[in-house]
Amino acid sequence: MSTVTATAANLSVFVLLIAVAVSAQSTPTTSYTNHTVGGPAGWFFNSSTNSSATNYSSWASSQIFNLGDFLIFNTNTNQTVIQTYNETTYQSCIADDAAGNDTFQYGGGRENFGELLTIALPLTIEGTNYYFSDADDGVQCQRGMAFEIDVAHGLGLPPSLNQPPPPPYIEPPGPDTAESPPITVGGSQPSDGGCLRIGANLVWVLLCALLALSLRP
């Protein structure tokens, strides 16, 4: 009985230390976010009222953007999505003159108007990113279909968006190499019960070791 109580006491000290360590962590970014552009209003222009469905600048200023986040445009083929890093292009509301690698177009350009579509764009470059619709010869953009965001580093790009170029093609092994012994990757298990694996942070390694001690019968 008394050993159980002692273990429980150790455990509660451990939990307290965890809470202190967690509250001392200063990085607010812990995951990637999908930002639905315009919120429930989506990315729409009403040509009868000549206005955007919502104030996109105002929406953008309510969000925090980091590398690896996505912008989700819920829209239809009446609008386009132009992404640019070029402020001149953004201010002009026209993508046609854009040259080179700094401007990309998504959506629109379909045969049918009003066809629903969702466009998901990852944020891959830190700093100012600009978005607008160049439909109706720039009128949509002039009338509110435009916003800029500032992309912070956050967690950095996840591996899925930061792939190195694929390795060069290698001829598959022929029948004569089939008997070569398998290569063993990786070594022995860590001897600390796994504490070194949960992170490089010294505090966490110590806490993990403390837990291992407190759970010892």
Burial annotation 15-35 (CB, 10 A radius, 16+ → b, else e): eeeeeeeeeeeeeebeebeeb
Tokens of 52: 């955007």
Q: Which of 13, 15, 39, 113 binds ligand NAG (CB under 6 A)?
A: 113
Place of tokens 């105002």: 58
CB nearer to ligand NAG: pick between 97 and 150: 97
Please, what is the Cα angle at 110 between 104 and 114, to 5 degrees? 110
Interacting residues with ligand NAG between 36 and 55 (CB under 6 A): 46-50, 55
Q: Are 77 and 113 in contact (CB under 8 A)?
A: yes
| Least distance between ligand NAG and beta carbon 206 (Å) | 32
- Check residue 148 for interaction with ligand NAG (CB under 6 A): no
| Least distance between ligand NAG and beta carbon 25 (Å) | 22
Q: Are 169 and 76 in contact (CB under 8 A)?
A: no
Q: Which of 37, 68, 73, 76 binds ligand NAG (CB under 6 A)?
A: 76
- Rounded CA-CA distance 112/58 in Å is 31
- Check residue 58 for interaction with ligand NAG (CB under 6 A): yes
Nearest to 85 by CA among 73, 75, 99, 66: 99
Q: Are 127 and 151 in contact (CB under 8 A)?
A: yes
- Check residue 149 for interaction with ligand NAG (CB under 6 A): no
| Least distance between ligand NAG and beta carbon 40 (Å) | 13
Q: Which of 9, 97, 192, 213 binds ligand NAG (CB under 6 A)?
A: 97
- Interacting residues with ligand NAG (CB under 6 A): 34, 46-50, 55, 57-58, 61, 70, 76, 78, 85-86, 88-89, 92, 97-98, 100-102, 113-114, 120, 125, 139, 142-144
